[in-house]
Amino acid sequence: MDYRELLALAERAKEYSYSPYSRFRVGAAIAAKDGRVFTGTNVESASYGATICAEQAAVVKAVSEGCRSFEAIAVASDAEAGSFPCGICRQLLAEFGLDIKVITGKPDGDIRVCTIAELLPCAFTGEELPEKP
Ligand code: THU
């Protein structure tokens, strides 16, 4: 999928942000290898730690619909140049592939593209865990 189109979907998802505490809106759109796109936005809680990031919302929607194979995720935020996923979101995305591309920026401006492997060097992938019984 075209990265600018994916970013435009992330921008649109940002409009649904529930962020009364930080007032920082984030939208995400994740493109699956089967052509489907799932969007998500950040959902905050008065108990701050219960907040869900936009990227998490998008991944959880996708996996809940049986989708585990992804090409790229676009992230749109209130930051002027867009912003990259937080550490927890990088780890969650790494679960589904270090080669997933992360796109940020504005759909009509400069965009930045990198991979989860670049954003999360020496990732803990689960390879280290003992074999399952
Ligand atoms: N946030 C995201 O949705 N994704 C990120 O990768 C970074 C942070 C949200 C969480 C919170 O609602 C707000 O941005 C401020 O941290």
Find the mean pLDDT for residues 5-27.
Answer: 98
Is 55 known to be catalytic?
yes
Tell me, in angstroms, the distance from the centre of ligand 1 to residue 130's CA.
33
* Structure tokens, 105: 């920026």
Q: Between 132 and 89, where is the model more confident?
A: 89
- 54 Cβ closer than 6 Å to some ligand 1 atom: yes
Q: Is the CB of 18 under 6 A from ligand 1?
A: no
Q: Where are the domains of the chain?
A: 3-128
Q: Which of 44, 55, 80, 128 is catalytic?
A: 55
pLDDT greater than 80 at residue 133: no
CA 126 – ligand 1 centroid, Å: 25
| Cβ–ligand 1 contact at 86 (below 6 Å) | yes
What pLDDT digit, counting tens, does each position of 64-97 carry? 999 999 999 999 999 988 899 999 999 999 999 9
43 CA distance to ligand 1 middle (Å)? 9
- Please work out whether the CB of residue 24 comes within 6 Å of at least one atom of ligand 1: yes
- What is the reported pTM? 0.96
The secondary structure of the chain in percent helix, strand, coil, rounded to multiples of 5, reads: 30, 25, 45
Tokens of 76: 């749109």
Q: What percent of the chain has pLDDT over 70?
A: 98
* CATH architecture of the domain with range 3-128: 3-Layer(aba) Sandwich (3.40)
| Rounded CA separation 118/61 (Å) | 25
